[in-house]
């Protein structure tokens, strides 16, 4: 584990009821959750681990990674909570992981907090990767109020120049990032657009 992952691990395994982590694209955010889930199970610190996300597909993928007991979109978990038979009943020994937290709008987040009740909540995302559709703002306020653990080391890209291009994208300078990638032959165009230079006018 790197320094950021270790800090996330310690906080995730602590008695804190709310854990925030933010990571760059390719920093292994989802993979960093697995050791936390394993430690919580091994230490009998929870009865179930549940993965939530705005998108059901994302929730399923992360659930498979951490071997969760239950998963679903926020809407799906709300339905599971209100079923007449065999309804889901979160407790103080439930751990809920909200993946891609920045994609949840304010209504999504209010609904999630209502349905999970006393459960521990671990949120992980990146405000600079994507934003919510609809009324938002809560995530920025949350990380300003409680600064998250940051996963800064990028593992997906091994070329330092690619990492630098991603930092340009993260900083909002898409033109410079695309120009750099194009100059290095990292952008390939298929179909009728072949031969046109990307990112330049």
Same domain (yes/no): 116, 185? no
Q: Report the pLDDT value the prediction gives residue 83, as an integer from 0 to 100.
A: 87
Range of the domain at 170: 160-193
- pTM for the full model? 0.77
Instruction: Using CB atoms within 10 Å of the CB of residue 32, give its burial: 0 to 12 exposed, 13 to 18 middle, 19+ buried.
Output: buried
Residue 184 has φ and ψ, to the nearest 5°, of -95, 10
Asked, for residue 200, whether it belongs to a domain, the answer is no
Asked if the model's pLDDT at residue 200 lies above 70, the reply is: no
Element (H, E) at 175: helix 174-183
Same domain, 27 and 111: yes
Q: Are residues 13 and 40 in the same domain?
A: yes
**Average pLDDT, integer, range 165-193:** 70
Q: Does residue 143 have a pLDDT over 50?
A: yes
Q: Given this model, what pLDDT does residue 189 score?
A: 76
Q: What angle do CA 136, 66, 99 make, to 5 degrees?
A: 5
The fraction of the chain above a pLDDT of 90, given in percent, is 49
Mean pLDDT of 148-157: 76
CB atoms within 10 A of CB 124: 25
119's tokens: 């459960």
Q: What pairs with residue 72 in β-bridges? A: 52
Query: 137 Cβ partners below 8 Å, 6+ apart?
Result: 106
| Range of weakest confidence among 17-26, 93-102, 143-152, 177-186 | 177-186
Question: What is the structure's pLDDT at 196?
Answer: 54
Q: Is pLDDT larger for residue 167 or for residue 51?
A: 51
Q: Does 198 fall in a domain?
A: no
- Strands, E assignment, the chain: 18-23, 48-53, 70-73, 94-99, 120-125, 149-151
* Number of CB atoms found within 10 A of residue 165's CB: 22
What is the mean pLDDT of the segment spanning 162-191? 71
Whether 169 has a pLDDT exceeding 80, the answer reads: no
Residues 141, 44 share a domain: yes
User: Which among 124, 130, 143 has a CA at the least distance from the CA of 5?
Assistant: 124
Q: 32 with 8: CB under 8 angstroms?
A: yes
Residues 173, 122 share a domain: no
- Whichever domain contains 78, its CATH number is 3.40.50.300
Question: 84 falls in which pLDDT band (50, 70, 90)?
Answer: confident
Cα 98–chain centre separation = 7
Q: Do 126 and 175 belong to one domain?
A: no
What pLDDT digit, counting tens, does each position of 13-66 carry?
A: 999 999 999 876 667 777 789 999 999 999 999 999 999 999 999 999 999 999
94 and 174 share a domain?
no
Q: How many domains is the chain partitioned into structurally?
A: 2
């Amino acid at each position: 584990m790197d320094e950021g992952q270790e800090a996330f691990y310690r906080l995730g395994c602590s008695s804190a009821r709310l854990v925030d982590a933010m990571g760059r694209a390719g920093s292994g955010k989802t993979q960093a959750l697995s050791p936390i889930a394993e430690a919580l199970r091994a230490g009998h610190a929870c009865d179930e681990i549940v993965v939530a996300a705005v998108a059901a597909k994302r929730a399923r993928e992360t659930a498979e990674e951490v071997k969760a007991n239950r998963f679903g979109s926020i809407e799906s978990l709300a339905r599971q909570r209100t079923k007449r038979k065999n309804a889901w009943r979160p407790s103080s020994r439930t751990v809920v992981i909200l993946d891609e937290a920045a994609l949840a709008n304010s209504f999504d987040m209010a609904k999630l907090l209502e349905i999970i009740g006393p459960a521990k909540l671990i949120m992980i995302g990146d405000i600079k990767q994507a934003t919510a559709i609809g009324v938002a703002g809560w995530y920025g306020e949350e990380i300003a109020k409680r600064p998250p653990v940051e996963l800064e080391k990028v593992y997906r890209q091994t070329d330092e120049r690619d990492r630098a291009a991603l930092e340009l994208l993260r900083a909002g300078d898409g033109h410079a990032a695309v120009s750099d990638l194009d100059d290095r032959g990292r952008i390939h165009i298929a179909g009728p657009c072949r031969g046109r230079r990307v990112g330049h006018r």
